[in-house]
């Protein structure tokens, strides 16, 4: 699997991998990228089925999404890296913490859960998107991704995210939904060993503060930060998100 990626920052700096939410691209990290690249080689990539990254053979699984990251590190001759992922990207990070811990230094997972949503709901969404495209889903995305206050205050940013979602591959998006349908790490949290920062949005209806608390209660070396945001906390609270991650990576 040849993922579309970008590697930016000082040549000798530690590597920080960024992994996106379902339905977003690497520009979702624009609020942090310019600051993080001062101190890290920032490796951004498009998840399978997003942007210019192909879906490959479908269906695929969470394990394959995690293995994509390992393969990308291998391709770039990177032995170990920090990792920061949000939503689906955060769940990918939890998989890495469990199954590829030797490749990860410190790990940040935001707006995620060991089990996101319900199997039947993901399969229904995948079927809807394959049949109808992403238009109807995009229309309801702002209420899942952002607080009402942010929607009213930053309509241009919200509109850009929705436009981008509508332009994604329906087949690639649906395949990621199917991967989420089978993804469940709830019984594996106690096996995760890398230092872990969990960030939750206080108004996130998708992955709740309670979901984040469950991760922290079972994972060694973990800590929790909450932000006054909905599901895309790195967009809605870009500055504090950036600062919390830098502080954690420098501990």
Give the pair of three-digit tokens for residue 57. Answer: 């053979």
Give residue 1's pLDDT: 64
Asked if 4 and 141 touch (Cβ cutoff 8 Å), the reply is no
Buried b (16+ CB within 10 A) or exposed e, 149-171: ebbeeeeebbeebbebbbebbbe
Give residue 58's pLDDT: 87
Give the pair of three-digit tokens for residue 55. Answer: 């879906």
d(CA 175, CA 57): 10
Position of tokens 């469990």? 98
Q: What is the topology classification, in CATH, of domain 5-249?
A: Rossmann fold (3.40.50)
How many C-beta atoms surround the C-beta of residue 19 within 10 A? 29
Give average pLDDT by consecutive 10-residue segment, the chain, 251 residues: 93 98 98 98 98 92 98 98 99 99 99 98 97 94 97 98 97 98 98 98 98 98 98 99 98 89
Q: What is the pTM assigned to this prediction?
A: 0.97
């Amino acid at each position: 699997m040849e993922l579309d990626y970008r590697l930016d920052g000082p040549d000798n700096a530690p590597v920080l991998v960024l992994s996106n939410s379902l339905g977003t691209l690497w520009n979702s990290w624009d609020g942090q990228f310019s600051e993080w690249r001062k101190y890290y080689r920032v490796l951004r990539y498009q998840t399978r089925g997003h942007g210019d990254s192909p879906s490959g053979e479908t269906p695929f699984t969470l394990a394959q999404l995690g293995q994509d990251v390992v393969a990308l590190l291998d391709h770039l001759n990177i032995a170990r890296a920090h990792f920061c992922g949000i939503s689906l990207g955060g769940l990918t990070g939890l998989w890495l913490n469990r199954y590829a811990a030797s490749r990860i230094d410190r790990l940040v997972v935001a707006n995620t859960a060991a089990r996101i949503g319900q199997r039947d709901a993901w399969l229904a969404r995948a079927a809807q998107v394959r049949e109808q495209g992403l238009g109807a889903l995009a229309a309801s995305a702002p209420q899942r991704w952002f607080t009402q206050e942010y929607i009213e205050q930053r309509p241009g940013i919200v509109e850009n995210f929705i436009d981008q979602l509508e332009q994604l591959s329906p087949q690639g998006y649906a395949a990621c939904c199917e991967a989420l349908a089978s993804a469940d790490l709830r019984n594996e949290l106690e096996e995760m060993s890398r230092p872990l920062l969990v960030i939750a949005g206080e108004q996130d209806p998708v992955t709740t503060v309670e979901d984040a608390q469950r991760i922290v209660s079972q994972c060694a070396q973990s800590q929790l930060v909450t932000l006054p945001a909905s599901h895309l906390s790195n967009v809605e609270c870009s500055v504090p998100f950036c600062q919390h991650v830098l502080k954690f990576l420098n501990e």
